[in-house]
């Protein structure tokens, strides 16, 4: 039995057992070990999906060290093959279900006046290279930007989906490719960021004019955030560690810059410092909504990493 370094004190307060004085952190929501997957989705998913249907960009990402439960939170248990319908399914499959429920409600309410088109893509960022998980032959793809689309991945496959079941199928296909790549190419999944993006387009006719609204929802399973203390890391692993540290610290720097701006400072936001932060640019700043799930391990042996994750989340909470 290992000792614990964390205690949930209230639905939004977590306490870290530090010496000499415990540290108290307040967040929007703290989920203890008895929290159901449904409750986690209720806390992070519903509002952001409602605002995406209303035309805003949104991002939900899980941040934390390897083994803290990020993939379980975002996808669910992976030992059931590709069944994303079971009770323990995570934020991503539940997002599909909620999104398509909202769309069908809107269509029932407004009939032919509104038409929704939903597309999805699934990519992985590994060693600062972008791979399309829906195209096994894809090699490093490039990020581009233009006025119309903002930041996008050139050549990335986008599949039209008309139901949660179809979106589940795309997720399953991509997830299998992620696993295959992780065994055949040493691309271990906890060493890469996976980004599933839903693009929601609504066309509405008002007084003979067609209004088109387009928004994106990014669902992100980040690589493990642990610092590579192990000096014996060499070769491939060293390169992976460097890339992960680069992209997560770039994400942290973007968040710090956005916090400064929220407090009235004028400063440059270094989105281009990593593929991940540049890809998420249009969903982190401006009128976008972002939910960060900070996954922590309560065991004392993870004290340092847990402290670092909680501090990251506390900084991020200051963005207005």
pLDDT at 285 over 90: no
> CA 152 to CA 145: how far, in whole Å?
6
How does pLDDT run across 287-306, given as a tens digit for each residue? 789 999 999 999 899 999 99
Looking at residue 206, its pLDDT comes to 81
User: How confident is the model at residue 234, as a pLDDT?
Assistant: 64
Which of 40-44, 109-113, 146-150, 179-183 shows the highest mean pLDDT?
Answer: 40-44
Do the beta carbons of residue 99 and residue 161 sit within 8 Å?
A: no
pLDDT band with cut points at 50, 70 and 90 for residue 103:
very high
Q: Reply yes or no on whether the pLDDT at 150 is more than 90.
A: no
How many alpha carbons fall within 13 Å on the CB side of residue 91? 30
Confidence of residue 230 (pLDDT cuts 50, 70, 90): very low
Region 200-214: mean pLDDT is 89
Confidence of residue 231 (pLDDT cuts 50, 70, 90): very low
Domain residue limits, the chain? 38-316
pLDDT at 81: 55
What's residue 148's pLDDT? Answer: 83
- Average pLDDT over the chain reads 88
pTM: 0.90
Residue 57 pLDDT more than 50? yes
**pLDDT band per the 50, 70, 90 thresholds, residue 108:** very high
Residues at the binding site are: 64-71
Range from 86-90, 180-184, 197-201, 217-221 carrying the lowest mean pLDDT: 180-184
Question: What is the pLDDT, as a whole number, of residue 113?
Answer: 85
Least reliable range by pLDDT among 85-99, 182-196, 207-221:
182-196
Give the range among 110-119, 206-215, 240-249, 308-317 with minimum mean pLDDT.
240-249
pLDDT band at 127 (very low <50, low <70, confident <90, very high): confident
Residue 229: what pLDDT? 56
pLDDT of residue 259: 87
- Under 8 Å between Cβ of 53 and 66: no
- Give the model confidence (pLDDT) of 1-46 as tens digits: 578 899 999 999 999 998 889 999 999 999 998 999 999 999 999 9
Binding positions for ATP: 64-71
Q: Give the CATH superfamily of 38-316.
A: Kinesin motor domain (3.40.850.10)
Going from the C-alpha of 315 to that of each of 100, 253, 306, the distances in angstroms are: 33, 10, 14
Token pair for 26: 């307040």
């Amino acid at each position: 039995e290992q000792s614990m370094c964390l205690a949930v004190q209230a639905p939004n307060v977590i306490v870290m057992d530090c010496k000499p004085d415990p540290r108290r952190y307040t967040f929007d929501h703290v989920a203890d070990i008895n929290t159901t997957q449904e409750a986690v989705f209720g806390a992070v998913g519903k509002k952001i999906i409602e605002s995406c249907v209303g035309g805003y960009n949104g991002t939900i990402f899980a941040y934390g060290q390897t083994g803290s439960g990020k993939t379980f939170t975002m996808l669910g248990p992976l030992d059931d093959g590709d069944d994303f319908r079971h009770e323990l399914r995570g934020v991503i499959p539940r997002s599909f279900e909620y999104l398509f429920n909202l769309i069908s409600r809107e269509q029932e309410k407004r009939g032919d006046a509104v038409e929704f088109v939903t597309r999805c893509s699934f990519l992985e960022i590994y060693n600062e290279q972008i791979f399309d998980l829906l195209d096994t032959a894809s090699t490093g793809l490039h990020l581009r930007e233009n006025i119309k689309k903002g930041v996008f991945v050139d050549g990335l496959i986008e599949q039209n989906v008309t139901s949660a079941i179809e979106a589940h199928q795309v997720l399953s296909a991509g997830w299998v490719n992620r696993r295959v790549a992780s065994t055949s190419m040493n691309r271990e999944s906890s060493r890469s960021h996976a980004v599933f993006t839903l693009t929601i387009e609504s066309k509405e006719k008002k007084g003979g004019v067609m209004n088109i609204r387009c928004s994106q929802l990014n669902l992100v399973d980040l690589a493990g955030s642990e610092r590579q203390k192990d000096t014996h890391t060499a070769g491939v692993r060293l390169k992976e560690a460097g890339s992960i540290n680069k992209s997560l610290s770039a994400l942290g720097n973007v968040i710090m810059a956005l916090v400064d701006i929220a407090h009235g400072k004028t400063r440059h936001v270094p989105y281009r410092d990593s593929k991940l932060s540049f890809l998420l640019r249009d969903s982190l700043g401006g009128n976008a909504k972002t939910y960060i799930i900070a996954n922590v391990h309560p065991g004392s042996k993870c004290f340092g990493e847990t402290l670092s994750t909680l501090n990251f989340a506390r900084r991020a909470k200051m963005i207005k």
